[in-house]
Amino acid sequence: MIKKHNARSKLVFSLLLSIGIILIALILSYLLSDNNLVTNFAQKSLPPSWNHIFGTDWLGRDMFTRTLKGLRLSLVVGFIGAFVGACIASILGIVAATFGKKADAVISWFVDMFIGMPHLVFIILISFMVGGGVKGVILGVGLTHWPSLTRIIRNEVMSIKNSEYIKLSRNLGKSKTFIVFQHILPHILPQIMVGFLLLFPHAILHEAAITFLGFGLSVQTPSIGLILSEAVKHISVGDWWLAVFPGLMLILVVESFDSIGEQFRILINPNSANQ
């Protein structure tokens, strides 16, 4: 019993630590002054110091401020993209499991097709088709991050749709829509939340990747991907900090979200939580 309690306490502590890291990054991004982003050639390309802990770039802008504000934008884009993907996955997963074999076959075919396509290429195509920018990135991420979660939700609904309480509701003449919203959706909501949390880090990484390649956000809306893309041009002259610190912050935030998703999944699973 003591071991179970200690394991659960460590799990909760790790979850709170991951949440704390993300909240600190977000709060600092709002507290840091935009004056640190003003061009100042007298301080250009300064290495990390107490005055500029992440150094400055080739225009004299503080990299710590740029990194945190870029992370904030990446988080917003990732959040909306992951939310869109989770909504699509929830709708398709429920429809596939509750609206007959034909619906299941069609949706399963789409899931297999999308899983077989490279995410990054598909995101670039969608972003390019809608004109790029924030809208293009969000649509690209949202429309490519639903297949795996759709399959999970479909399997979960399949496992509960023949439960006694659902059979009773069906025998009482309740519609499929009523059964979905009153019985199925509340049951699978925790799985949807976990799926959303696990989609988040993938969405952030893919946003950074396509922006790095020049197909994502514009230069007027800098994100971590844009910062890294710009840094590549200056690494050869010795400005290593322009890529190292933003890259480490991106990894830290992505790993934190991935950890939150995994720990939340364990906490809501009675079998896992008691291990």
Task: Count the domains in the chain.
Answer: 1
Model confidence at 275: pLDDT above 50: no
The number of beta carbons lying within 10 Å of the beta carbon of residue 167 is 12
Query: Looking at residue 62, what DSSP letter applies?
Result: B
**Does residue 34 sit within a domain?**
no
**Does residue 216 sit within a domain?**
yes
CA distance 208 to 253: 12
Model confidence at 264: pLDDT above 60: yes
**Does residue 14 sit within a domain?**
no
Residue from 77, 86, 103 nearest 147 by CA: 86
Prediction pTM value? 0.80
Model confidence at 127: pLDDT above 60: yes
pLDDT in tens, 222-233: 678 788 888 877
What is the domain extent for residue 216?
70-268
**Does residue 146 sit within a domain?**
yes
Distances (CA, A) of 90 to 199, 235, 243: 13, 44, 37
Element (H, E) at 239: none
The number of beta carbons lying within 10 Å of the beta carbon of residue 240 is 14
pLDDT confidence of residue 1:
53
**Does residue 246 sit within a domain?**
yes
CA distance 259 to 251: 12
Going by pLDDT thresholds of 50, 70 and 90, the confidence category of residue 171 is confident
Round the average pLDDT of the chain to a whole number and report it.
81
**Does residue 239 sit within a domain?**
yes
pLDDT confidence of residue 5:
54
CATH number at residue 86: 1.10.3720.10
The number of beta carbons lying within 10 Å of the beta carbon of residue 172 is 8
**Does residue 63 sit within a domain?**
no
Question: Where is pLDDT greater, at 96 or 176?
Answer: 96
**Does residue 164 sit within a domain?**
yes
pLDDT confidence of residue 274:
47
